[in-house]
Amino acid sequence: MLNSTEVSYFTLSAYSDTGLLKYLYFILIMISYISIVGSNVLMIVVICMNRSLHEPMYMFLCSLFVNDLYGSTGLFPFLLVQILSDSHTVSVPFCFLQIFCLYSYGGREFLTLAVMSYDRYLAICYPLQYNSQMTYNKIAVLTALIWIYPFLTNTFIVSCLTAPLKLCRNTINKVYCDNYYIVKLACSDTTANNVYGLVNMFTVVLGYILLILYTYMRILKVCFSGSKQTRQKAVSTCTPHLACLLNFSFGAFFEIVQSRFDMSSLPNMLRIILSLYWLTCQPLINPLLYGLKMSKILALVYKSHFYTNYSLN
Give the strand pairing for 166-167 and 171-172. Answer: unpaired
Query: How high is the pLDDT of residue 265?
Result: 77
Q: Cβ distance 233 to 125 under 8 Å?
A: no
In the beta sheet, which residues pair with residue 89?
11
Query: What's the Rg (C-alpha) of the chain?
Result: 21
Please measure the distance between the N-terminal and C-terminal CA atoms of the chain and give it in whole angstroms: 69
Pairwise CA distance, residues 283 & 72, whole Å: 7
- The candidate with the shortest Cα–Cα distance to 76, out of 223, 283, 295, is 283
pLDDT reported for residue 4 = 54
Provide φ and ψ at 10, rounded to 5°.
-115, 150
pLDDT digits (tens, 9 = 90+) for 6-43: 677 899 988 877 778 889 999 999 999 999 999 999 89
Question: From CA 71, how far away is CA 78, in angstroms rounded?
Answer: 12
pLDDT on residue 197: 79
- CA-wise closest residue to 38 among 283, 216, 267: 283
Specify the pLDDT at position 199: 81
- pLDDT single digits (tens) 126-162: 888 888 889 889 999 999 999 998 888 877 777 788 8
Residue 98: predicted pLDDT: 93
pLDDT of residue 59: 92
Task: Give residue 64's pLDDT.
Answer: 94
Question: What number of H helices and E strands is found in the chain?
Answer: 11, 5
* The model scores a pTM over 0.95: no
Amino acid 60: pLDDT = 93
Q: Per-domain residue ranges for the chain?
A: 2-312
Question: 10 Å Cβ neighbour count for 72?
Answer: 22
- Dihedral sign computed on CA atoms, order 131, 135, 139, 141: negative
Ranges under pLDDT 70 in the chain: 1-6, 226, 230-231, 233, 292-313
Closest to 81 measured CA to CA, from 26, 38, 28, 36: 26
Chain mean position to CA 121: 22
Alpha carbons 225 and 220: distance in angstroms, whole number: 9
DSSP assignment string, 90-146: EEHHHHHHHHHHHHHHHHHHHHHHHHHHHHHHHHHH-TTTHHHHS-HHHHHHHHHHH
Superfamily, domain 2-312: Rhodopsin 7-helix transmembrane proteins (1.20.1070.10)
Rounded alpha-carbon distances, angstroms, from residue 124 to 47, 118, 225, 292:
22, 10, 12, 21
